[in-house]
Chain A
Amino acid sequence: MTTTAYEPNVVLATETFDVVGTRPIRHDGTDKVTGRAEYGSDGQPVSVLYCKILRSPHAHARIKSVDTSKAEALDGVKAVVTGKDFPSSPPDEEWSGTTGTFKLKDLREHRLATKKVLYKGHPVAGVAAVNQHVAQEAIELIDVQYEPLPPIMTAPQGMAKGATLLHDDLFTEEAGEKGDTPSNLASHLQYKKGDIEKGFAEADVIIEREFNTATVHQGYIEPHSCTVHWNKDGKVHIWNSTQAPFDVRDMTAGILGLSSTDVRLTPKEIGGGFGGKWEPYGEPICALLSKKTGRPVHNALTRAEELESTGPTPGSYIKVKMGITNEGKMVAAQGHLAYEAGAYLGSPVDPGAQCIFAPYDIPNVLIDGYDVVVNKPKTAAYRAPGATNAAFASETVVDEFAEKLGIDPIELRLLNAAKEGTRRADGPVFPRVGCVEVLEAMRDHPHYSAPLEGPNRGRGVAIGFWFNVGLQSAANMNVNGDGTVTLTEGSPDIGGSRVGLAMQGAEVLGIPAEDVHPSVVDTDQIGFTAGSGGSRVTFATGWAVYEAASDIKRQLIERAALIWGVDAGDIEMEKGVVQSKSDPDLRFTFKELAAELDGSGGYVSGRGAVDPKGEGGAFAGLIVDVEADPDTGKVQVLRATVVQDAGKAIHPSYVEGQLQGGTAQGIGWGLNEEYFMDPEGRMANSTLLDYRMPIALDLPMIDTVIVEVANPGHPFGVRGVGEVNIISPPAALANALHRALDVRMEQLPMSPGNIMEAVWKKGK
């Protein structure tokens, strides 16, 4: 571990606050460190049944028959369901939500296949039994006859002429227009800026490279789990581990043919999500089983089921061609990105394409993106989805430019950095962003200038951009007689958000964060709140809390006016004190006024419901030192420093945690993690022993630098912080490895085997 005396954070935001920017203890901390917090599988109802799911052993096969009779006859089995138990709807009927627009029949086939299985692990039937062992025995008695088909395992394979089709009703979409022949290519997008041919003609140096990245999983510690009760009144109640209660509620209702509010979802504490817990998996199956039995039904996935049948982030094939002048000015950039959607359309190739060259002001750009269905699990979001794959490609080429031109890699990036007014390749112009400030903080950090001695060692840098999102959020706040305030909101706490939200309310009211008591409540108890993802909670739900607290502030001023018999216009509230502007004797602290509420009109409640814009994109970069063994390909990360623009860090400790967490995951993605698929399309490493995520011994202490370039689109200047930090590690590691071993890695992961292949190839 390397430590420095460096003063870590760069505060460029100019407004100062009393609560925002401090580091109070999180409200949920005691329950979590003492083990009292209840997660998805904790605290089951007395009459619960246990569900197990029969899954396809094939990556691609036609289902010829399903016979459940032996399972149904097994003692202890209470119900068996297949996809035929779902309601039917017209073939083209669509469902839309925050994850996109899909055919309802595909959403149902994804949960329980009836015609074809499209990946190994695809659910075919569900069983509810008195315990898990009986349920497991029962699913092994279900007889499914398959007709295996050749699997499609990569995007280029899927796009090849004559490729086996996964769907006979999927047609390529290009900007709202559909093709007329079925294809594995779900969509093609394109971004164009300037004149790409002219740009390359102006370039003195042109580099073109191809990259492949493997499928990886979010790797949250707690697997998906749910308990579902279909009540006699037709209402469905779900308790589960999710980061998106309303989104899962709505999709589950759509699959079951119900209205959204026929489903109530209570989110339990969540053991990680990172984007992967945004959709239902077991919920619709458990709902069908509960409807049949009248009892609550519980399902918890094993780790193998998690890896094989939930939503990893896609493997990809990316080709990058960039041109630069001898003076270091980037003049042209072209990208071809083909991402694996998994079994159903919807890879994150769009954001990948939008982010790939976003850190730079390049006048001539052409980007083509392809969303391709393959016989792997349907992909789901993972921290800055699509952007990490893309940056691995573009940031490797930028590093090669620096080497060829003899320019310092950070100075080269600064020379071309995007700033306020830079037009992105996808069209919009950047507002105030912190790309330059992040790069300057990297350049000025002692890590960047520290000596790195010894053989086979190298230092690399890279940066990345992510949009962050807004979306709807709601919050309610109630003032109690003792001067505390309860806060109810609908954003599952996956990164310390409770305390960050409470702090924003406390700042408005001028009270300590500890006096605001936050709770994450169920979907019947709060207005629509989009899930905890997209780096949106502190921004959007924080804004809802700001509105709720401001509502309370307004009412408290009116109440003081009523009590004192003066005009409300004569009263102000600052730093938790309500006072007359003209009479210094008229003064209440927050607690004193709270005590006067009962008897003067009752307690006060505030509400906030927002759908904000102005989320403010963010940049982050990584400096990393590695030592690589030239004989084995093993890489040791010696030192890592992550720098990120947070806008305003509400609670710096949890921002630093996000920076470290995203970097750790990015290092795993870069060095070891991959779905290792056999020739039949089956995952060969579906345990955490073989799916190699980094552990504490693999990582140094990750130093963090929070750069605060306030976002003008938020009351406190917040930008999202949860995602952008994962983008640069694979590229930074590749660049460090180049200096350590003199090889350019063009494949993720940079595992020992892949590194040795590259070393041997270079030696030939």
Chain B
Amino acid sequence: MATVFIPSLMQRLTDGQDKVTVQGSTVREIVNNLETEYPGTKERLADKFKIKPNISVAVDGEVTPLGMLEKVGEDSEVHFLPALGGGQG
């Protein structure tokens, strides 16, 4: 199962855990399964079909432009980070 790192200001939704293991082969499945296990997480991270525009998701250290569509491996790490746009660079 993938390891999902929980942003520190969201950890009260995961009983204080800073990382949790979640089943899923895509970020979408990870987000949905995270919501099942820890209600309230999905609305903080995603709209119905997309990661929220001010958030980016990194799988195995690489920020992915595919968002919810990105594939996740059995041993992957998933991070939710602030989105860095070109306007910030």
Q: Would you give the shortest CB distance from B72 to chain A, in whole angstroms? A: 14
Shortest 4 CB-CB distances between A and B: which pairs?
A534-B89, A176-B44, A99-B87, A175-B9
* Chain A residues within an 8 Å CB radius of B43: 176
Considering the chains assembled together, what is the distance between the CA atoms of A219 and B17 in angstroms? 46
Contact status B65-A471, CB under 8 Å: yes
Considering the chains assembled together, what is the distance between the CA atoms of A429 and B78 in angstroms? 11
Considering the chains assembled together, what is the distance between the CA atoms of A613 and B64 in angstroms? 6
B45-89 Cβ-contact flags toward A at 8 Å (1 or 0):
100000011110010011111000000000001010111111111
Contact status A613-B62, CB under 8 Å: yes
Considering the chains assembled together, what is the distance between the CA atoms of A248 and B13 in angstroms? 38
Considering the chains assembled together, what is the distance between the CA atoms of A176 and B83 in angstroms? 13
Contact status B86-A536, CB under 8 Å: yes
* Chain A residues within an 8 Å CB radius of B8: 175, 190-192
For B85, give its contact among A98, A188, A386, A611 (CB under 8 Å): A98
Considering the chains assembled together, what is the distance between the CA atoms of A615 and B81 in angstroms? 16
B5-39 Cβ-contact flags toward A at 8 Å (1 or 0):
10111100000001000000000000000000000
Considering the chains assembled together, what is the distance between the CA atoms of A428 and B81 in angstroms? 9
Show 21 residue pairs from A and B whose CB-CB distance is below 8 angstroms, ordered by the A residue. A99-B86, A175-B7, A175-B44, A177-B9, A177-B44, A189-B9, A190-B9, A191-B8, A275-B87, A351-B82, A384-B89, A426-B81, A430-B61, A431-B61, A431-B62, A466-B89, A469-B84, A471-B85, A471-B86, A534-B88, A534-B89
Residue A9 at the chain B interface, CB threshold 8 Å: no
Which residues of A (427-444) have their CB < 8 Å from a CB of B? 427-431
Contact status A98-B87, CB under 8 Å: yes
Contact status A176-B84, CB under 8 Å: no
* Chain B residues within an 8 Å CB radius of A247: 86-87
Contact A385:B88 (CB < 8 A) given known A176-B52, A611-B65: yes
Contact status B82-A534, CB under 8 Å: no
Q: Would you give the shortest CB distance from B23 to chain A, in whole angstroms? A: 20
Contact status B85-A723, CB under 8 Å: no
Considering the chains assembled together, what is the distance between the CA atoms of A472 and B85 in angstroms? 11
Closest to A95 in B: B53
* Chain A residues within an 8 Å CB radius of B89: 275, 381, 384-385, 466-469, 533-536, 720, 723
Considering the chains assembled together, what is the distance between the CA atoms of A98 and B65 in angstroms? 12
Contact status A100-B65, CB under 8 Å: no
Contact status B85-A613, CB under 8 Å: no
Chain B contact residues, CB within 8 Å of chain A: 5, 7-10, 18, 43-45, 52-55, 58, 61-65, 77, 79, 81-89
Q: Would you give the shortest CB distance from B68 to chain A, in whole angstroms? A: 14
Residue A210 at the chain B interface, CB threshold 8 Å: no
* Chain B residues within an 8 Å CB radius of A98: 85-87
Closest to A536 in B: B86
* Chain A residues within an 8 Å CB radius of B84: 350-351, 467, 469, 534
For A348, give its contact among B44, B83, B88 (CB under 8 Å): B88
Residue A231 at the chain B interface, CB threshold 8 Å: no
Q: Would you give the shortest CB distance from B65 to chain A, in whole angstroms? A: 4
Contact status A96-B53, CB under 8 Å: yes
Q: How many residues of A contact B (CB 8 A)?
A: 56
* Chain B residues within an 8 Å CB radius of A244: 86-87
Which residues of A (408-459) have their CB < 8 Å from a CB of B? 426-431
* Chain A residues within an 8 Å CB radius of B18: 192
Contact status B9-A101, CB under 8 Å: no
Contact A99:B88 (CB < 8 A) given known A175-B7, A611-B65, A613-B62: yes
Considering the chains assembled together, what is the distance between the CA atoms of A603 and B86 in angstroms? 35
* Chain A residues within an 8 Å CB radius of B45: 176
Residue A666 at the chain B interface, CB threshold 8 Å: no
For A189, give its contact among B77, B82, B85, B86 (CB under 8 Å): B82
Q: Would you give the shortest CB distance from A196 to chain B, in whole angstroms? A: 11
Considering the chains assembled together, what is the distance between the CA atoms of A430 and B61 in angstroms? 7
Q: Would you give the shortest CB distance from B66 to chain A, in whole angstroms? A: 8
Q: Would you give the shortest CB distance from B21 to chain A, in whole angstroms? A: 15
* Chain A residues within an 8 Å CB radius of B65: 470-472, 611-613
Considering the chains assembled together, what is the distance between the CA atoms of A531 and B44 in angstroms? 28
* Chain B residues within an 8 Å CB radius of A175: 7-10, 44
* Chain B residues within an 8 Å CB radius of A385: 88-89
Contact status A174-B9, CB under 8 Å: yes
* Chain B residues within an 8 Å CB radius of A705: none
* Chain B residues within an 8 Å CB radius of A429: 61, 77
Which residues of A (716-740) have their CB < 8 Å from a CB of B? 720, 723
Interface centre among A427, A431, A613, by most B CB within 10 Å? A427
Considering the chains assembled together, what is the distance between the CA atoms of A385 and B82 in angstroms? 14
Which residues of A (65-108) have their CB < 8 Å from a CB of B? 96-101
Closest to A380 in B: B87
Closest to A426 in B: B81
Considering the chains assembled together, what is the distance between the CA atoms of A247 and B87 in angstroms? 9
Contact A101:B53 (CB < 8 A) given known A190-B8, A192-B18, A613-B63: yes
Considering the chains assembled together, what is the distance between the CA atoms of A174 and B89 in angstroms? 23
Residue A741 at the chain B interface, CB threshold 8 Å: no
Contact status A428-B77, CB under 8 Å: yes
Closest to B45 in A: A176
Q: Would you give the shortest CB distance from A652 to chain B, in whole angstroms? A: 22
A587-628 Cβ-contact flags toward B at 8 Å (1 or 0):
000000000000000000000000111110000000000000
Contact status B87-A278, CB under 8 Å: yes
Contact status B86-A469, CB under 8 Å: yes
Q: Would you give the shortest CB distance from B11 to chain A, in whole angstroms? A: 9
* Chain A residues within an 8 Å CB radius of B86: 98-99, 244, 247, 278, 469, 471, 530-531, 533-534, 536
Residue A363 at the chain B interface, CB threshold 8 Å: no
* Chain A residues within an 8 Å CB radius of B83: 100
Considering the chains assembled together, what is the distance between the CA atoms of A534 and B45 in angstroms? 24
Contact status B5-A99, CB under 8 Å: no
Q: Would you give the shortest CB distance from B89 to chain A, in whole angstroms? A: 3
Residue A279 at the chain B interface, CB threshold 8 Å: yes
Which residues of A (265-301) have their CB < 8 Å from a CB of B? 275, 278-279
Which residues of A (213-264) have their CB < 8 Å from a CB of B? 244, 247
* Chain A residues within an 8 Å CB radius of B88: 99, 275, 348, 350-351, 381, 385-386, 469, 534
Considering the chains assembled together, what is the distance between the CA atoms of A321 and B32 in angstroms? 38
- A-B contacts besides A99-B87, A351-B84, A533-B86, 8 pairs, CB < 8 Å: A99-B88, A188-B9, A351-B82, A384-B89, A427-B79, A428-B79, A467-B84, A531-B86
* Chain B residues within an 8 Å CB radius of A381: 87-89
Considering the chains assembled together, what is the distance between the CA atoms of A186 and B23 in angstroms? 34
Residue A24 at the chain B interface, CB threshold 8 Å: no
Interface centre among A96, A431, A535, A613, by most B CB within 10 Å? A613
Contact status B85-A99, CB under 8 Å: yes
Residue A713 at the chain B interface, CB threshold 8 Å: yes
Q: Would you give the shortest CB distance from B57 to chain A, in whole angstroms? A: 11
Q: Would you give the shortest CB distance from A389 to chain B, in whole angstroms? A: 14
* Chain A residues within an 8 Å CB radius of B10: 175-176
Considering the chains assembled together, what is the distance between the CA atoms of A429 and B83 in angstroms? 17
Considering the chains assembled together, what is the distance between the CA atoms of A612 and B44 in angstroms? 26
Which residues of A (168-193) have their CB < 8 Å from a CB of B? 174-177, 188-192
Closest to B58 in A: A428
Considering the chains assembled together, what is the distance between the CA atoms of A472 and B86 in angstroms? 10
